[in-house]
């Protein structure tokens, strides 16, 4: 029970309010009981003083028998006890509700002092002896009122308890309800539920506190939203870093593998020539082959360095306005001799005034690689179609060549480092395996996109410049 009371504010306020109301009711009852006697005696004292003075004035002018009759009537009228004394203070007669016979040794003042108001008045008669009268105001009426209160005390206690409990119940609810609402809101906030809001229908301190909680909820919701966004960005950055790290590991692994084979071949050829083993005695023949291997390695190393330079954090594109028409024509001229040797026909449909903002050297490397691959993989006497056109407001470069169609599942891997469809064609017709990988890197750095797909005539690569 103590724990329940300790944990509930409404119960505490209810008990405290009920106890206070009980105490106030008891205090009021005591004040009424005590005040009835006091107020009665005060009222009696005030009214007696004035009426008694009028009586004294009349008593100075009447005979002794009339004086006694008037004192007796006065005592009965006001419910008093009056003792008539001579001028020396000796008791003579008593009148009123409390009548008694005075014994010779009885002091009337001492016998009546506890019964209420006691006052002494002097009567200076015009003829005859002087007297004094002693008035006693009794507590009989006050005691009757107190007895009446005591008789209805159980009813008063019951009514007081009922009213106190009802008042305590409504008061505790009135006081604690807004606090309990704020408590529920704070609990929901602690559970990171920022959709809850406090009622805004109060302008007192509790209303101000509720408004502050609402503002706190809004700010916490905004902060949590920003944290979630930053957390998502951080997770994306972490995933990107992991992907980059995996790509780098895969790239270095592929580099080591790609370099290992020609180094092994070169080592075997040189060793065979040094020791004059079998056909290696023909040094001119194998020196030529060794040169071809070294040349291939040199090209691969240059492309590896190119990849490393592009991937470096300090690499920045030097964008200028580039004419795609002129750049494509220049690349075709450089490959024209190879195309003529293979009997390849290059068909062009180039849009005039096609310009983009790009790094001229890097973008020329992209076009050289793409068109060079088309020439390399097009069979003798085949055809290549190169177009520049606009599509949806964007410039598109299309390079299509006659060749064997590529399986759809292999197309996404064409841009991977050192990927070759036919391992038997490596070095001679397969290149270093880094050409399309570099193309993809440069295209992405420019913010362009690249697509590779099969066509009716063969294969096509599209570069869309935004």
> How far is residue 46's CA from residue 74's CA, in Å, rounded to a whole number?
16
The answer, yes or no, to whether residue 399 has pLDDT greater than 90, is yes
d(C-alpha 172, C-alpha 180), whole Å:
11
- State the DSSP string of 256-310: HHHHHHHHHHHHHHHHHHHHT-GGGG-HHHHHHHHHHHHHHHHHHHHHHHHHHHH
C-beta separation of 77 from 47 below 8 A: no
Q: Which residues of 86-115 are buried (b: 16+ CB within 10 A; e: fewer)?
A: eeeeebeebbbebeeeeeeeeebeebbeee
Of 92-101, 174-183, 324-333, which range is least confident? 92-101
Listed range (41-45, 332-336, 407-411) with the worst mean pLDDT: 41-45
Task: Indicate if the pLDDT at residue 424 is higher than 60.
Answer: no
62 lies in some domain:
yes
d(CA 36, CA 141): 9
Integer Cα distance of 188 and 204 in angstroms: 23
Residue 383 domain-assigned?
yes
pLDDT attached to residue 313: 61
The reported pLDDT for the residue numbered 119 is: 79
Highest mean pLDDT among 129-143, 172-186, 220-234: 220-234
For residue 84, pLDDT beyond 80: yes
Q: According to DSSP H, which parts of 343-414 are helical?
A: 360-377
Residue 237 lies in a domain: no
Rounded mean pLDDT of the chain?
77
> CB atoms < 10 A from the CB of 205, how many?
8
In a 3-state reduction of DSSP, which class is residue 388? Answer: strand
* Helices (runs of H) and strands (runs of E) counted in the chain: 11, 11
pLDDT attached to residue 102: 44
Contacts of 401 (CB under 8 A, 6+ apart): 374, 375, 377, 378, 382, 383, 384, 385, 457, 458, 459, 460
Where among 101, 129, 156 does a domain terminate? 156
Close Cβ partners of 398 (under 8 Å, ≥ 6 residues apart): 385, 386, 387, 388, 389, 460, 461, 462
User: 107 lies in a domain?
Assistant: yes
The enclosing domain of 451 has a CATH number of 3.30.565.10
- Considering the domain boundaries, does residue 245 fall inside one? no
Q: Which two tokens stand for residue 317?
A: 């594109």
Looking at per-residue confidence, does 177 or 93 come out higher?
A: 93
Instruction: Give the confidence band of 397 by pLDDT, cuts at 50, 70, 90.
Output: very high
Q: What pLDDT is recorded for position 383?
A: 94
Q: What SS3 state is found at 134?
A: strand
Within 8 A by CB and 6+ apart from 68, the residues are 84, 93, 95
Looking at per-residue pLDDT, the higher value among 262 and 133 belongs to 133
* CATH number assigned to the domain comprising residue 147: 3.30.450
* CA–CA distance, 104 with 401 (Å, rounded to integer): 157
**Measured in Å, how far apart are the chain's first and last C-alpha atoms?**
76
396 has a pLDDT exceeding 90: yes
In a domain, 295, yes or no: no
Weakest-pLDDT range from 87-91, 160-164, 416-420, 449-453: 416-420
Name the residue range of residue 17's domain.
2-156
Within a domain: 353: yes
pLDDT of residue 369: 87
pLDDT at 170 over 80: no
- Residue 459, classed as helix, strand or coil, is strand
Of 88, 121, 156, the one marking the end of a domain is: 156
- Please state the domain count of the chain: 2
pLDDT band at 328 (very low <50, low <70, confident <90, very high): very high
The predicted pLDDT at position 103 comes to 47
pLDDT value at position 385?
A: 94
Q: What is the pTM of this model?
A: 0.46
Q: Provide the b/e sequence for 144-171 (b: ≥16 CB within 10 Å).
A: ebbeeeeeeeeeeeeebeeebeeebeeb
91: confidence class by pLDDT, cuts 50, 70, 90 = confident
Q: Are strands 383-391 and 345-349 parallel, antiparallel or unpaired?
A: parallel
Of 236-240, 312-316, 410-414, which range is least confident? Answer: 312-316
Evaluate whether 354 touches 327 at the Cβ level (below 8 Å): no
30-44: per-residue pLDDT in tens? 776 666 656 665 666
Looking at residue 85, its pLDDT comes to 85
Tokens found for residue 338:
């190879």
The H or E element containing residue 463 is strand 458-465
* Residue bearing the bigger pLDDT, 443 or 221: 443
- Show which of 118, 138, 156 is a domain's final residue: 156
Q: In 251-264, which positions are buried (b, 16+ CB within 10 angstroms) versus exposed (e)?
A: beebbeebeeebee
- Supply the DSSP symbol for 392: T
Nearest to 364 by CA among 401, 335, 394: 335
Pick from 157-166, 277-286, 421-430: least confident: 421-430
DSSP assignment of 400-429, as one string? EEE-PPPPGGGGGGGGSTT--S-GGGTTTT
Contact (CB, 8 A) for 136 and 116: yes
Return the ∠ at Cα 146 (arms to 144 and 150), rounded to 5°.
Answer: 115
Whose structure tokens read 């190119």?
306
Distances (CA, A) of 145 to 30, 33, 42, 157, 297: 13, 8, 16, 17, 126
Residue 72 lies in a domain: yes
pLDDT surpassing 70 at residue 165: yes
Neighbours of 85 (CB within 10 A): 19
Q: Are 412 and 450 in contact (CB under 8 A)?
A: no
Tokens of 174: 């009135």
């Amino acid at each position: 029970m103590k724990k329940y009371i300790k944990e509930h504010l409404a119960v505490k306020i209810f008990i405290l309010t009920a106890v206070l109301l009980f105490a106030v009711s008891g205090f009021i009852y005591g004040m009424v009981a005590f005040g009835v006697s006091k107020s009665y005696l005060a009222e009696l004292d005030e009214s007696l003083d004035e009426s008694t003075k009028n009586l004294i004035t009349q008593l100075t002018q009447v005979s002794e028998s009339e004086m006694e009759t008037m004192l007796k009537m006065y005592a009965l009228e006001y419910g008093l006890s009056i003792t008539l004394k001579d001028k020396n203070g000796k008791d003579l007669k008593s009148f009123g509700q409390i009548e008694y016979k005075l014994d010779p040794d009885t002091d009337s003042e001492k016998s009546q002092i506890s019964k209420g108001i006691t006052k002494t008045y002097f009567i200076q008669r015009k003829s005859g002896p002087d007297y004094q009268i002693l008035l006693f105001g009794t507590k009989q009426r006050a005691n009757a009122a107190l007895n009446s209160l005591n008789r209805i005390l159980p009813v008063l206690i019951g009514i007081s308890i009922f009213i106190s409990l009802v008042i305590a119940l409504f008061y505790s609810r009135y006081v604690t309800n807004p606090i309990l609402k704020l408590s529920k809101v704070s609990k929901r906030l602690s559970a990171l539920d920022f959709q809850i809001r406090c009622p805004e229908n109060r302008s007192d301190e509790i209303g101000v506190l509720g408004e502050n909680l609402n503002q706190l909820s809004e700010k916490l919701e905004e902060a949590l939203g920003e944290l979630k966004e930053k957390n998502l960005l951080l997770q994306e950055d972490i995933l990107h870093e992991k992907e980059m790290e995996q790509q780098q590991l895969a790239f270095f692994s592929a580099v080591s593998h790609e370099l290992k084979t020609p180094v092994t071949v070169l080592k075997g050829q040189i060793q065979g020539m040094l020791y004059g083993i079998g056909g290696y005695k023909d040094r001119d023949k194998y020196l030529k082959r060794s040169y071809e291997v070294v040349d291939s390695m040199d090209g691969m190393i240059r492309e590896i360095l190119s990849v490393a330079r592009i991937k470096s954090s300090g690499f920045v594109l030097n964008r200028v306005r580039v004419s795609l028409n002129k750049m494509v024509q220049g690349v075709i001229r450089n490959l024209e001799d190879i195309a003529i040797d293979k009997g390849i026909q290059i068909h062009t449909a180039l849009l005039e005034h096609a310009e983009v903002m790009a790094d001229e050297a890097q973008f020329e490397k992209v076009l050289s690689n793409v068109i060079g691959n088309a020439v390399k993989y097009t069979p003798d006497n085949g055809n290549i179609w190169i177009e520049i056109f606009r599509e949806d407001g964007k410039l598109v470069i299309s390079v299509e060549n006659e060749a064997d169609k590529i399986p759809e599942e292999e197309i996404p891997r064409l841009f991977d480092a050192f990927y070759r469809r036919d391992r038997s064609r490596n070095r001679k017709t397969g290149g270093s395996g880094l050409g399309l990988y570099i193309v993809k890197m440069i295209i992405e750095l420019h913010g362009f996109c690249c697509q590779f797909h099969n066509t009716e005539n063969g294969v096509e690569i599209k570069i869309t410049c935004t």
